[in-house]
Amino acid sequence: MPIAGTGVLIGLVGLLLDEFLLYVATSWIIFGILAFSLDLVWGKCGFLSFGQTAFFGLGGYLASVAAINLAPLTGNNLVWIVPVGALTGACVATLVGYFIFFGRISALQGTILTYTFTLILWTGSIGLTVAVGDAIVGGDNGMTGIPALTLGLGKDAQPLGPLGMYMTVLVIAVALYVFVSALLRRPFGLVIAGIRMDELKTELLGYDVRGYRLVIFIIGGAIAGIAGALFASWATYINPSVFSIVEALLVPIYVLVGGRGTLVGGFVGSVAVGGLSFWLGGGVIGGQTTLALGVILILLVLFLPRGLIGTILHAVQRIRRRTRIPGVGPVTIMVPAGSSCETTPPEIVSAAPALETVGLSKSFGGVLAVQDVSIAVPPRGIRSLIGPNGAGKSTFIKVCAGMLRPKSGSILLNGTDITAEEPFARVRAGLAIKMQVAQVYPDFSVWHNLWLAGFARFRNEAAADAIVETVLPLIGLSEKRYLDGAQLSHGERQWLDMGMVLCLAPKVILLDEPTAGMTPDETRRTAGLIQRLAREAAVVVVEHDMEFVRMLDAEVTVLHQGSVFAEGRIEALRRDERVLDIYLGRRQSVKSL
Amino acid sequence: MQWDYLAIVALSSLTSASVLIIATLGLAVIFGLMGVINLAHGEFIMFGAYGALIATRAGMPLVVAIVFAALVTGLFGAVVERLVIRYLYGRLLDTLLATWGLSLALYQTAVLIFGSTTPGVGMPIVSVAIGRYSISAYFLFLIAAALVMLAATYLILTRTSYGIMARASIQDRDTAAAVGIETGRINTITFAFGTGLAGLAGGLLVPAFPATPGMGIAFVAKAFLAVVVAGPVTLTGAAVAAGTLGWAASATASYLSTVMGDIIFFVATILLLRAFPNGISDRWRLKL
Amino acid sequence: MTVLLWARRQLASLCVAAGVLVALPAFSADDTIKIGSLHDLTGGLNIYGIQQAQGLKLGVADINGKGGVLGKQIEVVEYDTQSDLPKYTQYANTLLLKDKAVAVFGGLTSASREAVRPMMHRAKVPYFYSSLYEGGVCDRYNFIAGASASQQLGVLLDWAAENYGKKFYIMAPDYNFGTISATWIHKYAKEMGGEVVGEDFLPLSASDFSPTIRKIQQSQPDVVVALPVGASQTGFLEQFAAAGLKDKIGIVSTNYGSGNQQVVVSPDAGEGIIASQEYFHWIDEPKNEEFKKTWQAAYGDKEPIISEAADAWNAVHLWAMAVEKAGTTDAEAVIDALESGLSFEGPNGTVAYQPGSHHLKQNIYIVRGNREHGFDVVQVFKAVAPTYEDEVCDLTKDKTVSKQFVPE
């Protein structure tokens, strides 16, 4: 493993360094662990947390209280501070994380919330003076007398020297890195990456993104807590300045300088920035440390936006990509005679509707976008949903999927009321939605895009592998399986999105303008695919393209200004004067009705 | 409760809210509207404060000096936009890093040029008696200034052709360019407008908050909180957020301690964010 | 000032500066005695840090000019802690492990001192802290050169009671210095039969003083004891004056002026504010004129000299005296020498280390702000002893104690 190797290398380098430099470098590694915790939460999972220093500080304080009171008994204080630091960070992160993620607080507001939390800790701890056993939290004067890092056992154990501390902290850092790397393997790591790239899409595949975010946040909190415990032990001192705005801002700086999402970036950034300011403070340029640091940062952003490691990795990737198999070939969609799309055994078709809405209404401010819509869709077959612009079709779909909360009314999926359910729960219950704009993961290959959907459905890697292989030929992307989502053409992305829906093997499928931007050829093929799907599921298709609606040859519901205007077969509707009225003058293709 | 006590509590709370609004407005434009995280906002306020200081020492009357401060800070903001910011639109995090570097550089430059202590300009020693209490007349002026700044910014951004072009450029640069708006130039002007507002804040506040290289830090944290709590309707939202939070903090400070006032400010922020996950103005139908 | 005079001054200061710079590293490692300097030269606290470092280096140049200590020149190894606490830990360790400094001078906030003090205690290196602070430190290896809060407040409150009245309002920052000072004010007020009619604690980055001012008006004190932290809290003084309160209520402070805040405050607001510290630029002491001349030759006269700079000057001189007396730089001998009742004639008169407490018996000056961004001396309290520290701390009897005492 490359990182273990690098770790050994850094350890060996340590043997060559002067004692004082070892001591200082230890603090860089500790701050690196802190930055690493942020890179996990932010670089990997997409949430910018300003709370890492809060967990760092709280972990440091509580671990030090434990160390001061308990370490004299055992000598070794590592056995106290690492668990206490981790536990403190984890517990506080659980509370804060639950508040943010289960409260569905949006990204920016969530970030500021963590920032505010840290500010509260800072303001409060400066004036807090209290004794906990032998440990004294001395307000701004901090806590002194924290035992230095000691590995030996027994009352007379001596603290480690600079080399010992350096090695211990390095080992812990490498261990944490290895742990996180292992954690982020398939499938967990894929889900996390999916949440980072497109949280909504990942939820719509059926993953409870709140829970995943919380888990990552808790782990990040625990790691930051460990870093704090180590820091307090390194300095044998801790004070409220760990909660200050300046320290909180430094952490994202370290991550960005090193390269966000690279996991090692945090360490690199900490060493780079910490090392630079340490060197400058030795009087190198006449004391203008802050000025130099500021200018360097600006230059870094303008010229090395991916950070130091990120830039290197990106260059390596670009070289690699040029040697990959190009996947450009004719788009062939095989629609085999057998129902190879079927992965669930045929069920007895009950008469009860698969999807039913009862008096569903949704308003935005004063505008009633959906008014008292009651629709019943049988478990097999297609229902086309049409209407002029602003009729409320997309809003209706979104309410059914759970992306919007209805004002009143209820939604039933196979007889179960899902009105109060979160979107991911509805997906797990068999509902799938494909939005108008293709939602694919740009940094995942076609294969991984589909795999994530398949895994969401079956929660089994082998089953996910199988369904991906089944779906790829159906959507005609077999030869492009290794291309990234970002490299596909517009039409190909729509197909990929459709493929992800297929891998969910859903019972009810909501399609919002699936042929938007497609060529007539592609449109015809989509119609064929939908008709095949409709043999095993209920498919609700919102469409503008009347030709496509005709191709589908299904029951049609017309919405107008939020209400159900008419229902019936398309041939009858296109002769209905009222329907023509609501369309007249607004669409050129009204002739094709 | 006597009338003068209630009046003075109300006025001093209004003062606190006004100071916060004045300090926040520039950030609302740059962060709220343009999507640029400007960590150097405090330093732009400081820039304006020193600008006003130099102007008064050169003999300008205070009011002229304040306008001078706003203009010169706006000009400097335009330069910064041209050199650095324009490469970073849409890259939210890079603006974080770049403006942090800028704030460090500006801070230290101020120390180099002005030293850590510079003679201040002072408030006019004119007070207004409210029963048994008194309040500085300058603060009453600041309350009026905050309202004027708000109204003027709102009108400029919604009623002038520049304002419409500015908001178009921000919302969708490509479409704006497609209809013939010089988005590059407009964005420079908007950024300059935002920093000019910060400079104006510095000038307005400098008699009451003496110019020091680090003066911005005290305002920046709360300004950010106010802008984020504000939500999508940036200007009005920020004004309401700053006003509400500032008022709550001040009222708490009046009955407990100023430290508790700060803590209540932060706790209220958290509660508001929980109650309004997308900001308080999420459902509002105002334009700006 | 004529061009010639200006040119001569520049030349003179260049020479002194050159001399200072050249003298320090000019000798090889064996020929110099290394002392460490840990000060905030950049960052928010550099108002104090720069002058502290300058005071130290000027003192060293003075000693070196007279032959150094033990026949060797003193070399100052200077680090910029950048107003960042982990840097204090990093550089303190560097001074110990790499530079092998025999004495360390530095720190401004009590937090920075507390980060460094235990380290110096473990390494058994004398550490000098040159700033006024809340008081109470008791550590064999720590010597305080600044005044302690009780030392300043005792005489200040007596003076305030006499000149303004006995009803006090406390405006203090919400951290150790502020809260402990407040404790002392409560104590002293009670002792003299006075009363604390109200208090407000402000966060360190305060930007809103309106509530405090309103509360002051409501409680109607005779005098406000204001302890504004840093230059930014001078806004309180501006707003206080602008509210028209200065004629009715007096203001006294123990830290106003310690960072040249009076330069920032406008003449209207600054006039009449009473400050008390162990040194001011304007005091009339025999050695002050000479001190100021030497300072201005080296660093110019663009800003007044603050008490921390004089403290640093005193500290390094006292250390040098102790080294000469002990005949060695060995820590234990030097400390014993410092505990033998050493006194020095500094720019603020006679300063003498109390053997038990390691704090200085020194003058406390009461000054009044004038309209020229400066102070006029009003009263001098000579040889004020640090009574609290002397009471709780006797390091001649207990050499192992290492803590900071806090009044109840």
Q: What is the 3-state secondary structure (H, E, C) of A509-526?
A: EEEECCCCCCCHHHHHHH
Do C46 and C171 reside in the same domain of the chain? no
Looking at per-residue confidence, does C355 or B31 come out higher?
C355
Which of A210, A201, A213 minimizes the C-alpha distance to A432?
Answer: A201
Q: Report DSSP letters for B188-219, one per residue.
A: HHHHHHHHHHHHHHHHHHTTTS---TTTTHHH
Do C223 and C142 reside in the same domain of the chain? no
**Closest A-chain CA to B224:** A112
Q: Which residues contact A169 (CB under 8 A, 6 or more apart)?
A: A26, A29, A30, A33, A149, A230, A234
- Specify the pLDDT at position B282: 83
Distance, CA of A541 to CA of A39 (rounded, Å): 41
Over the stretch A425-460, which tens digit does the pLDDT of each residue have? 999 999 999 998 889 999 999 999 999 999 999 999
- Specify the pLDDT at position C2: 53
List C-alpha distances in Å: A565 to A46, A388, A568, A578, B91: 43, 11, 11, 9, 45
Tell me the chain B residues in contact with residue C372 when contact means C-beta distances shorter than 8 Å. Answer: none
Q: Look up residue A416 and give its amino acid.
A: T
Residue ranges of alpha helices (H) inside A259-370 are 265-280, 289-303, 307-322
Share of chain A above pLDDT 90, in %: 47
- Specify the pLDDT at position A584: 64
| E-only strand ranges, A28-144 | 129-132, 135-138, 143-144
Over the stretch C150-162, which tens digit does the pLDDT of each residue have? 999 999 999 999 9
Collapsing DSSP to helix, strand or coil, C328 comes out as coil
- Specify the pLDDT at position A331: 42
Looking at per-residue confidence, does C214 or C104 come out higher?
C104
Do C9 and C126 reside in the same domain of the chain? yes
Rounded to 5 degrees, what are φ and ψ at A539? Answer: -120, 120
Distance, CA of B44 to CA of B26 (rounded, Å): 9
Q: Which residues contact A286 (CB under 8 A, 6 or more apart)?
A: none
Residue A248 has pLDDT above 50, yes or no: yes
Domain that holds residue C111: 3-147+283-358+393-400
- A289/C97 CB distance under 8 A: no
What is the DSSP-derived secondary structure letter of residue A357? E
Determine contact: C78 vs chain A, CB below 8 A. yes
- Final residue of a domain: which of C239, C258, C277? C277
The beta-carbon contacts of C7-10 under 8 Å, at least 24 apart in sequence, are: C9/C297
Maximum mean pLDDT: which of A111-115, A150-154, C356-360: C356-360
Distance, CA of A464 to CA of A480 (rounded, Å): 18
Question: Is C235 part of any domain?
Answer: yes
pTM above threshold 0.80: yes
Over the stretch A56-86, which tens digit does the pLDDT of each residue have? 999 999 999 999 999 888 888 888 999 999 9
List C-alpha distances in Å: C212 to A122, A475, A589, B136: 21, 70, 72, 14
Tell which of C47, C238, C240, C268 to mutate to test the B interface (max B CBs under 10 Å): C238
Name residues 132-151 of chain C within 8 A of B (Cβ).
Answer: none
Residue B66 has pLDDT above 90, yes or no: yes
Tell me the chain A residues in contact with residue C114 when contact means C-beta distances shorter than 8 Å. Answer: 138, 141-142, 144, 237, 239
Q: Which residue has the tokens 């209706």?
A: A396
Name residues 42-81 of chain C within 8 A of B (Cβ).
Answer: 42, 44, 46-47, 50
SS (H, E, C) C99-127: HCCCEEEECCCHHHHHHHHHHHHHHCCCE
Tell me the chain A residues in contact with residue B259 when contact means C-beta distances shorter than 8 Å. Answer: 123, 127
Mean pLDDT calculated for residue range B187-211: 93
Distance, CA of C299 to CA of C287 (rounded, Å): 18
**Nearest chain A Cα distance for residue B181, angstroms:** 26
Collapsing DSSP to helix, strand or coil, C334 comes out as helix
Question: Is C370 part of any domain?
Answer: no
- A144/C87 CB distance under 8 A: no
Indicate the pLDDT class of residue A344, thresholds 50, 70 and 90: very low
Determine contact: B54 vs chain C, CB below 8 A. no
Rounded to 5 degrees, what are φ and ψ at C153? Answer: -70, -35
- B93/A252 CB distance under 8 A: yes
| Cα torsion A158, A159, A161, A165: sign | positive
Determine contact: C405 vs chain A, CB below 8 A. no
Number of domains comprising chain C: 2
Burial of A246 (0-12, 13-18, 19+ CB in 10 A): middle
Mean pLDDT calculated for residue range C67-96: 93
Tell me the chain A residues in contact with residue B279 when contact means C-beta distances shorter than 8 Å. Answer: 109
Instruction: Specify the range with the lowest mean pLDDT, choosing from A539-553, A569-583, B23-37, B105-119.
Output: A569-583
Which of C222, C168, C232, C157 minimizes the C-alpha distance to C200?
Answer: C168
Domains, chain A:
2-318 (1.10.3470), 355-430+506-592 (3.40.50.300)
**Nearest chain C Cα distance for residue B81, angstroms:** 25
Residue B149 has pLDDT above 70, yes or no: yes
Over the stretch C181-208, which tens digit does the pLDDT of each residue have? 999 999 999 999 999 999 999 988 777 8
Over the stretch A455-514, which tens digit does the pLDDT of each residue have? 999 999 999 999 999 999 888 888 888 889 999 988 888 889 999 999 999 999 999 988
Question: Is C371 part of any domain?
Answer: no
Look over chain C and give the mean of its residue pLDDT values, rounded to a whole number: 89
- Specify the pLDDT at position C20: 43
Between β-strands C360-369 and A381-386, what pairing exists: parallel, antiparallel or unpaired? unpaired
Do C116 and C238 reside in the same domain of the chain? no
Do C117 and C230 reside in the same domain of the chain? no
- Specify the pLDDT at position A591: 44
Residue B34 has pLDDT above 90, yes or no: no
Determine contact: B28 vs chain A, CB below 8 A. no
Question: Is C367 part of any domain?
Answer: no
- CATH code of the domain in which C298 resides: 3.40.50.2300
CA end-to-end distance (rounded Å), chain A? 64
- B122/C303 CB distance under 8 A: no
Structure token digits, residue B35: 């999507």
Determine contact: C266 vs chain A, CB below 8 A. no
Q: Which residue has the tokens 């905050």?
A: B146
Residue A410 CB neighbours (<10 A): 15
Tell me the chain A residues in contact with residue B105 when contact means C-beta distances shorter than 8 Å. Answer: 290-291, 294-295, 298
Do C256 and C209 reside in the same domain of the chain? yes
Length of chain A: 593
Do C326 and C249 reside in the same domain of the chain? no
Question: Is C377 part of any domain?
Answer: no
Determine contact: B35 vs chain C, CB below 8 A. no
- Specify the pLDDT at position C195: 94
Under 8 Å between Cβ of C288 and C348: yes
Distance, CA of C239 to CA of C219 (rounded, Å): 17
Q: Look up residue A94 and give its amino acid.
A: T
Q: Peptide bond before A187: cis, by omega within 30 degrees of 0?
A: yes
Give the up-direction half-sphere exposure of residue A120: CA atoms within 13 A in the CB hemisphere.
17
Share of chain C above pLDDT 70, in %: 92
- Final residue of a domain: which of C257, C277, C297? C277
Looking at per-residue confidence, does B3 or A329 come out higher?
B3
Distance, CA of B80 to CA of A77 (rounded, Å): 51
Do C294 and C268 reside in the same domain of the chain? no
- Specify the pLDDT at position C405: 92
Do C79 and C157 reside in the same domain of the chain? no
Residue B87 has pLDDT above 90, yes or no: no
- Specify the pLDDT at position A284: 61
- Final residue of a domain: which of C258, C277, C296? C277
Mean pLDDT calculated for residue range A87-95: 97
Name residues 212-231 of chain B within 8 A of C (Cβ).
Answer: 212, 214-215, 217-219, 221-222
Q: Could you tell me the residue ranges of all domains in chain B?
A: 3-216
Tell me the chain B residues in contact with residue A295 when contact means C-beta distances shorter than 8 Å. Answer: 101, 105
Do C10 and C133 reside in the same domain of the chain? yes
Question: Is C243 part of any domain?
Answer: yes
Do C137 and C168 reside in the same domain of the chain? no
Over the stretch B96-133, which tens digit does the pLDDT of each residue have? 778 888 988 898 888 888 877 788 888 888 888 888 88
Instruction: Specify the range with the lowest mean pLDDT, choosing from C153-162, C232-241, C243-252.
Output: C232-241
Name residues 127-156 of chain B within 8 A of C (Cβ).
Answer: 127, 132-139
Residue C27 has pLDDT above 70, yes or no: no
Under 8 Å between Cβ of A30 and A231: yes
Collapsing DSSP to helix, strand or coil, A258 comes out as helix
Tell me the chain C residues in contact with residue B23 when contact means C-beta distances shorter than 8 Å. Answer: 207
Question: Is C363 part of any domain?
Answer: no
Do C18 and C100 reside in the same domain of the chain? yes
- B263/A297 CB distance under 8 A: no
Q: Look up residue C92 and give its amino acid.
A: A
Indicate the pLDDT class of residue A593, thresholds 50, 70 and 90: very low
Question: Is C379 part of any domain?
Answer: no
Under 8 Å between Cβ of A579 and A385: no
